[in-house]
């Protein structure tokens, strides 16, 4: 099949490359000419494991190319995926839909001249419920035979290629049997491997994404709330989470206590969902999401407090090393990064802060130019009074605490992700603090 992908950011670039990989002819569209140039040369504009080789192979094979022209997109295919961003609206928790509307409005006038009948516009962007219906009305003023369907993405940064090619489920909200049949045909190579296809209406498909993210965010904030209780009772939150997760009704995933969630999805999605519920007169139904957001934000303050304790009660004239800048491992994405928020708060309280990250240093430096950065862990930790472990990259878990102790001024570490081996670090002479854990060292 031939299809276009409008918007070649994180979701769009991955979707375009993966659809080309399973055999479709794909045209990626974006207004960012520098991004289009890089993608056309087979270079992804961000770090994502497995994407670079797949992208270059698809471009070299001629199954994937890129353009800045929506007119060209209209002529290329009769199925168009909209993958543009929906950031948080300035001054509000609501989603900003300007990019989605611009993509649909820009495409619509070209559709009647494309020669295709029954054009299908498929949304993958995360949007408030009711968006598909509204876009359908706008689209049909220019293209009466065009349909809108919604096919939410469930990608995890760092696992996006695998999540696209081996998804747990494919959800499609289509308004007609014709649209559903086309989507089943498009995803046929994935369905043949046993992937579940869930067909529903567009409104339900829109809700599936925000409801799922809200539930995951709630699990994370719940275990972090339990970590706060553990801190004042002497209980161990890791043992608590393990015991809770052993219950099949609860499960262990997303019960990892620590610094909390960040990135471009969970924070903005729960805020947008709460804002949309208010618009619908159902704000009380999801009022708990405000507390989920507050608990998550509070973990950053708690981490700063732990670090200040280890620094002797003040950051003035102290050197602090921060391990991690990306909001999660296996990514260079620093949007709403808890690690950088903590690092910058400590800097503003008087400390000299040096940050290390295996992939995200360039993005972090652009976002927080007042921070200092190091390309080696040893350089970041050199003569540090406190070390903060803030992004759970595997290489940080594999650090030799005895060797690192010879580099720092004071062997004190905050394990804000609760993934380091406390026995190994304590045996090497370190004082280790972690949220929800008994004091170690």
5-25 pLDDT, tens digit each: 999 999 999 999 999 999 999
Answer whether residue 301 is part of any domain: yes
Report the predicted TM-score, pTM, of the whole model to 2 decimal places.
0.93
pLDDT score, position 440:
54
What is the pLDDT averaged over residues 285-309?
Answer: 97
**How many structural domains are present in the chain?**
3
Last residue of a domain, one of 253, 288, 323: 288
Structure tokens at 24: 């479709």
Structural domain boundaries, residue 414: 294-433
Q: Which of 288, 309, 324 is the last residue of a domain?
A: 288
Same domain, 264 and 322: no
In a domain, 205, yes or no: no
Tokens of 280: 């619908």
Asked if residue 247 and residue 191 are part of one domain, the reply reads: no
- Torsion, CA 334, CA 95, CA 170, CA 35, rounded to 10: -50
For residue 123, what is the domain's CATH number? 3.40.50.720
Q: Same domain for 178 and 45?
A: yes
- In this structure, are 146 and 223 located in the same domain? no
39 and 178 part of one domain: yes
Statement to judge: residues 270 and 328 lie in one domain: no
Q: pLDDT tens digits for 351-405?
A: 999 999 999 999 999 999 999 999 999 999 999 999 999 999 999 999 999 999 9
* Residue (of 385, 386, 316) closest to 351 by Cα position: 316
Task: Answer whether residue 438 shows pLDDT above 90.
Answer: no
Tokens 């209406």 belong to which residue?
201
Whether residues 182 and 271 share a domain: the answer is no
Which pLDDT value is given to residue 104? Answer: 97
313 shares a domain with 335: yes
Q: What torsion, rounded to 10 degrees, do the Cα atoms 393, 399, 405, 410 define?
A: 10
Q: Which residue has the tokens 């800097």?
A: 347
Q: Name the DSSP letter for residue 440.
A: B
Same domain, 225 and 261: yes
Q: What is the pLDDT at residue 113?
A: 85
83 given a catalytic annotation = no
Same domain, 152 and 46: yes
Q: What is the CATH number of the domain that holds 241?
A: 1.10.1040.10
Give the pLDDT confidence score for residue 263 in this predicted structure: 93
135 and 279 both lie in a single domain: no
179 and 302: one domain?
no
Would 277 be classed as within a structural domain? Answer: yes
- The per-residue DSSP string of 45-96 comes to SS--TTHHHHHHHHHHTTSEEEES-HHHHHHH-SEEEE----PBPTTSSSB-
The per-residue pLDDT of the chain, averaged, comes to: 96
Instruction: Provide the pLDDT for residue 117.
Output: 83
Which of 270, 288, 306 lies at the terminal end of a domain, its last residue? 288
Flag whether 215 is in a domain.
yes
Residue 132 Cα to chain centre, angstroms: 23
Q: Of 18, 83, 230, 265, which one is the catalytic site residue?
A: 265
Question: Contact 361/413 with Cβ under 8 angstroms?
Answer: no
- Which helix (H) or strand (E) segment holds residue 284: the answer is none
Residue 109 has pLDDT above 70, yes or no: yes
Q: Which 3 state secondary structure label does DSSP give 198?
A: strand
Per-residue pLDDT tens digits for 206-262? 999 999 999 999 999 999 999 999 999 999 999 999 999 999 999 999 999 999 999
């Amino acid at each position: 099949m031939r299809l276009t992908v409008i918007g070649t950011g994180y979701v769009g670039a991955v979707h375009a490359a993966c659809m080309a990989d399973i055999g479709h002819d794909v045209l990626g569209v974006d207004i960012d000419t520098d991004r289009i140039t890089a993608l056309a040369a087979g270079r992804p504009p961000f770090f994502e494991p497995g994407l670079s080789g797949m992208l270059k192979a698809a471009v070299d094979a001629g199954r994937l190319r890129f353009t800045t022209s929506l007119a060209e997109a209209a002529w290329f295919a009769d199925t168009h995926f909209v993958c543009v961003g929906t950031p948080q609206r300035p001054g509000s928790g609501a989603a900003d839909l300007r990019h989605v509307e611009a993509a649909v409005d820009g495409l619509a006038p070209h559709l009647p001249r494309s020669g295709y009948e029954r054009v299908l516009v498929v949304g993958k962007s995360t949007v408030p419920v009711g968006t598909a219906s509204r876009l359908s009305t706008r689209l049909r003023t220019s293209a009466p035979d065009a349909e809108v369907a919604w096919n939410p993405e469930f990608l995890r940064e760092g696992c996006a290629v695998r999540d696209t090619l081996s998804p747990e489920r494919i959800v499609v909200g289509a308004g007609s049997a014709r649209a559903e049949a086309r989507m089943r045909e498009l995803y046929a190579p994935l369905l043949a491997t046993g992937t579940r296809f869930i067909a529903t209406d567009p409104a339900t498909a829109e809700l599936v994404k925000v409801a799922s993210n809200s539930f995951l965010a709630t699990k994370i904030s719940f275990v972090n709330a339990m970590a706060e209780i553990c801190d004042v009772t002497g209980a161990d939150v890791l043992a608590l989470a393990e015991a809770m997760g052993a219950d099949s009704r609860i499960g262990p995933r997303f019960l990892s206590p620590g610094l909390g969630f960040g990135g471009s999805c969970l924070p903005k999605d729960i805020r947008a969902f709460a804002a949309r519920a208010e618009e619908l007169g159902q704000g009380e139904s999801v009022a708990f999401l405000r507390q989920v957001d507050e608990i998550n934000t509070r973990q950053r303050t708690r981490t700063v407090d732990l670090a200040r304790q280890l620094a002797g009660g003040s950051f003035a004239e102290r050197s602090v090393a921060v391990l991690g800048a990306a909001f999660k491992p296996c990514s260079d994405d620093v949007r709403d990064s808890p690690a950088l928020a903590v690092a910058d708060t400590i800097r503003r309280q008087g400390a000299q802060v040096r940050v290390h990250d295996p992939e995200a240093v360039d993005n972090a430096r652009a976002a927080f130019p007042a921070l200092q950065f190091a390309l080696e862990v040893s350089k970041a930790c050199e003569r540090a009074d406190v070390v903060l472990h803030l992004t759970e990259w595997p290489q940080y878990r594999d650090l030799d605490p005895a060797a690192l102790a010879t580099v720092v001024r004071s062997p004190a570490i905050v394990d804000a992700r609760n993934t380091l081996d406390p026995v190994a670090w304590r045996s090497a002479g370190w004082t280790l603090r972690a949220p929800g854990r008994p004091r170690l060292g």
